[in-house]
Chains A and B, each alone.
Chain A
Amino acid sequence: MSGDATRSLGRGSSPPGPVPEGVIRIYSMRFCPYSHRARLVLKAKGIRYEVININLKNKPEWYFTKHPFGQIPVLENSQGQLIYESVIACEYLDDLYPGRKLFPFDPYERARQKMLLELFCKVLEYQNITFFGGDRISMIDYLFWPWFERLDVYGLSDCVSHTPMLRLWISTMKQDPTVCALLTDKNIFLGFLHLYFQNNPCAFDFGLCAPAIR
Chain B
Amino acid sequence: MSGASSKSLGKGSSPPGPVQEGLIRVYSMRFCPFAQRALMVLKAKGIRHEIININLKNKPEWFLKKNPAGLVPVLEDSKGRLISESVIICEYLDEAYPGKKLFPDDPYEKACQKMILESFSKVPPLVASFFKGKKEDHHDIREELRKELRKLEEAMTKYKKDFSVGDAVSMADYLMWPWFQWLEALELNECLAHTPKLKGWMAAMQKDPTVLSHLIDAKTYHGFFNLYLQDSPETCDYGL
Contact = CB atoms under 8 A, between A and B. Distances in A.
A81 B114 CA distance: 14
A85 interface: yes
B115 A115 contact: no
A53 to B, nearest CB: 23
Interface residues of A, number: 19
Contact of B111 (A88, A111, A114, A115): A88
Given A107-B95, A110-B95, A83 B85 contact: no
A4 interface: no
A115 B85 CA distance: 7
Contact of A115 (B84, B108, B110): B84
Q: Is the interface of B mostly helix, strand, loop or mixed?
A: helix
A108 B92 contact: yes
Interface residues of B, number: 17
B83 interface: yes
A115 B88 contact: yes
Interface string B78-113: 000101110011011001100000000001101100
A213 B118 CA distance: 67
A118 B114 contact: no
Contact of B96 (A77, A89, A107, A112): A107
B107 A118 contact: no
9 contacts: A88-B114, A88-B115, A91-B110, A92-B108, A111-B88, A111-B89, A115-B83, A118-B85, A118-B88
Interface of B: 81, 83-85, 88-89, 91-92, 95-96, 107-108, 110-111, 114-115, 118
Given A92-B111, A108-B96, 12 more contacts: A83-B115, A85-B115, A88-B111, A92-B107, A95-B110, A96-B107, A111-B83, A111-B89, A111-B92, A114-B85, A115-B83, A118-B88
